[in-house]
Amino acid sequence: MFVTGATQTRVTLAAMTSEAKAPTLAAAASAVMAEPDPARKTGAALTLAHDRRTGGLAGIGLPVPVARPKRPARPELRPPREMPRRRNLQTVKARVALLHALAHIEFNAIDLACDMIARFADFALPPAYYDDWCTVAGDEARHFRLLQRRLDHYGAAYGDLPAHDGLWQAATDTAHDLLARLAVVPLVLEARGLDVTPAMATRLRDAGDAESAAVLESIYRDELTHVTAGARWFRHCCDARSLEPRDTWQRLVRQNFKGQLRGPFNDGARAAAGLPQTFYRPLAAASQSRLKDPT
């Protein structure tokens, strides 16, 4: 087919315009963070993961730093110290409180995964970095919906109870550096999930809630892949900066994580994810001796 010069110009301009309008991956991830409504935020995160997986959103774009993701009017956010501990899960009230707290963690985890993309968008990072965090964002959205279904089973919903306000703090504390973010969010906070989730699933099963236990076990399997992704990209960034991973991780955790590293640790799962004991055991021992001797 012959195309006249004028037509060819129009075709080329049209292609350029539609290319210019195509959302970048960083912009799409920040749009997920800007969505307060749980149904729409999870929907947007699942779409992000799907689009990336099927070849869309190939253009990374410029970084879009989001100071604070949007939240629904409920749950009411309270300081972490005001949150009750739930050891005995024999009552429906206690199981609902646990499922609600876990749903809140997953809700925040969607934004944390999207922030890995939007804030730290960098052409020097390989495409597999973005593939991984899009997959994580989709997983976290699915986890939230699974927990929401368990709440619904008990006649409850996300937003019914207060939730703690400390989860975005780690993102704020590590907003200045991708390496610090990787050290703290996947390799401290998500790794902690590997330690505590199997016991929570057992307690739910013992309390007669096998369905919620199964949900936690499936979340656990996905979280193992999230910590694995964190460890992979942490080592990648260390290599890129000619840094030794173990000492660098310990230094960044000391500088950027305000809490204490506490066991018991799921050493097997952590090692399988690429986080050996030599990384975290010395820091846990150091924080234990600080607790015993605050001088």
Q: Which of the ranges 116-124, 161-169, 187-195, 254-262 carries the binding residues for Fe ion, by CB under 5 A?
A: 187-195
* Cis peptide leading into residue 63 (ω within 30°): no
Residue 164 within binding range of Fe ion, rule CB under 5 A: no
Phi, psi (deg, nearest 5) at residue 163: -140, 160
Residue 104 within binding range of Fe ion, rule CB under 5 A: no
The structure tokens listed for 141 are 């959205």
* Cis peptide leading into residue 264 (ω within 30°): yes
Q: Which is nearer to Fe ion, 207 or 229 (CB)?
A: 229
Q: Which is nearer to Fe ion, 228 or 287 (CB)?
A: 228
Residue 226 within binding range of Fe ion, rule CB under 5 A: yes
Q: Are 275 and 253 within 8 A, CB to CB?
A: no
Per DSSP, the three-state class of 223 is helix
Q: Which of the ranges 1-9, 69-77, 188-196, 267-275 carries the binding residues for Fe ion, by CB under 5 A?
A: 188-196
Rounded CA gap, 235 and 45, in Å? 26
Q: Which of the ranges 48-56, 173-181, 221-229, 261-269 carries the binding residues for Fe ion, by CB under 5 A?
A: 221-229
Rounded CA gap, 280 and 174, in Å? 19
Residue 111 within binding range of Fe ion, rule CB under 5 A: no
Rounded CA gap, 276 and 86, in Å? 29
DSSP annotation of 207 reads T
Rounded CA gap, 9 and 19, in Å? 15
Give the shortest CB-113-to-Fe ion separation in angstroms.
Answer: 7
Residue 203 within binding range of Fe ion, rule CB under 5 A: no
Rounded CA gap, 295 and 60, in Å? 48
Residues 8-47 that bind Fe ion (CB under 5 A): none
Residue 143 within binding range of Fe ion, rule CB under 5 A: yes
Size of the site for Fe ion (CB under 5 A): 7
Give the shortest CB-238-to-Fe ion separation in angstroms.
Answer: 21
Residue 140 within binding range of Fe ion, rule CB under 5 A: yes
Q: Which is nearer to Fe ion, 25 or 105 (CB)?
A: 105
Residues that bind Fe ion (CB under 5 A): 106, 109, 140, 143, 190, 223, 226
